[in-house]
Amino acid sequence: MEPPESPSAALQTPDEDQSSQTPPPPSPPLPSTTTHQCLPHSTTTTTTTATAALENPDEDESNQTPPPPSPPLPSNTTIHQCVPHSTTTTTAKCFNCGGPAEIPPPQPVWSEISPPPNYRPIRAPALNLPPNYSQQAIIDTPVPKSEKVSVISLPHKFKAPSKKIRVPDDMKSFIKSDSANNFIGFIVSLSESIRGKKLSEPCHESETLSSICSVMDSLVSLVDEIPPIQQAGRYGNFAYRDWYDRLLANSEDLMLKFLPEDLKSSTKELVPYFTDSFGNSARLDYGTGHETNFAAWLYCLARMGVIKEEDYQAVVCRVFIKYLSVTIQTVYDLEPAGSHGVWGLDDYHFLPFIFGSSQLIDHKYMKPKSIHNQDILDNFAKEYLYISCIAFVKEKKKGVFAEHSPLLDDISGVPNWGKVNGGLLKMYKAEIMESIPIMQHFLFGSLLEW
Does 38 have pLDDT greater than 60? no
| Contact criterion met (CB below 8 Å) for 96 and 46 | yes
* pLDDT tens by residue, 154-182: 899 999 999 999 998 999 999 999 999 99
DSSP string of 74-135, one letter each residue: PTT-----B--GGG-----B-TTT--BBSSPPPPPPP-SSSPPP----SS--S-S--TT--H
Q: Which amino acid is at 71?
A: P
Where are the chain's structural domains?
167-444
- Lowest-pLDDT range, 115-124, 211-220, 405-414? 115-124
Give the residue-averaged pLDDT of 279-294.
93
According to the model, what pLDDT value does residue 60 have? 47
Residue (of 165, 427, 124) closest to 288 by Cα position? 427
Does 56 have pLDDT greater than 50? no
| Contact criterion met (CB below 8 Å) for 367 and 387 | no
Does 37 have pLDDT greater than 80? no
Q: Is 23 exposed, middle or buried (CB count within 10 Å of its CB: 0-12, 13-18, 19+)?
A: middle
User: What letter does residue 163 receive in the DSSP assignment?
Assistant: E
Residue 236 pLDDT grade (very low, low, confident, very high; cuts 50, 70, 90): confident
CB neighbour list of residue 114: distance below 8 Å, 6 or more residues apart:
none
The better pLDDT of the pair 144, 188 is held by 188
Does 440 have pLDDT greater than 50? yes
The better pLDDT of the pair 122, 250 is held by 250
Based on its alpha-carbon atoms, the radius of gyration of the chain, rounded to whole angstroms, reads 39
Residue 384 pLDDT grade (very low, low, confident, very high; cuts 50, 70, 90): very high
What whole-number percentage of the chain has pLDDT above 90? Answer: 56
* pLDDT tens by residue, 329-379: 889 999 888 666 666 678 899 999 999 999 999 999 999 999 999 999 999
Give the residue-averaged pLDDT of 382-391.
95
Q: Which residues pair with 100 in a beta bridge?
A: 93
Neighbours of 418 (CB within 10 A): 15
List C-alpha distances in Å: 306 to 8, 258, 269, 427: 107, 9, 14, 29
Give the residue-averaged pLDDT of 141-149.
90
Q: Give the predicted TM-score (pTM) of the model.
A: 0.70
Cα–Cα distance, 75 to 332 (Å, whole number): 77
Highest mean pLDDT among 46-50, 300-304, 446-450: 300-304
Does 312 have pLDDT greater than 50? yes
What whole-number percentage of the chain has pLDDT above 70? Answer: 68
Give the residue-averaged pLDDT of 86-101.
60
| Contact criterion met (CB below 8 Å) for 87 and 78 | no
Cα–Cα distance, 76 to 273 (Å, whole number): 89
How many residues are listed for the chain in this entry?
A: 450
According to the model, what pLDDT value does residue 9 have? 44
| Contact criterion met (CB below 8 Å) for 158 and 201 | no
Residue (of 308, 303, 246, 234) closest to 278 by Cα position? 246
Does 95 have pLDDT greater than 90? no
Q: Where are the beta strands (DSSP E) in 304-394?
A: 335-337
According to the model, what pLDDT value does residue 141 have? 77
The CATH class of the 167-444 domain is: mainly alpha
Residue 450 pLDDT grade (very low, low, confident, very high; cuts 50, 70, 90): confident
Q: What is the mean pLDDT of the chain?
A: 80
The better pLDDT of the pair 444, 11 is held by 444
Residue (of 271, 173, 283) closest to 215 by Cα position? 271
- Angle at the Cα of 177 from the Cα atoms of 138 and 187, rounded to 5 degrees: 60
The better pLDDT of the pair 326, 136 is held by 326
Residue 235 pLDDT grade (very low, low, confident, very high; cuts 50, 70, 90): confident
Does 15 have pLDDT greater than 50? no
According to the model, what pLDDT value does residue 218 have? 95
Residue 422 pLDDT grade (very low, low, confident, very high; cuts 50, 70, 90): very high
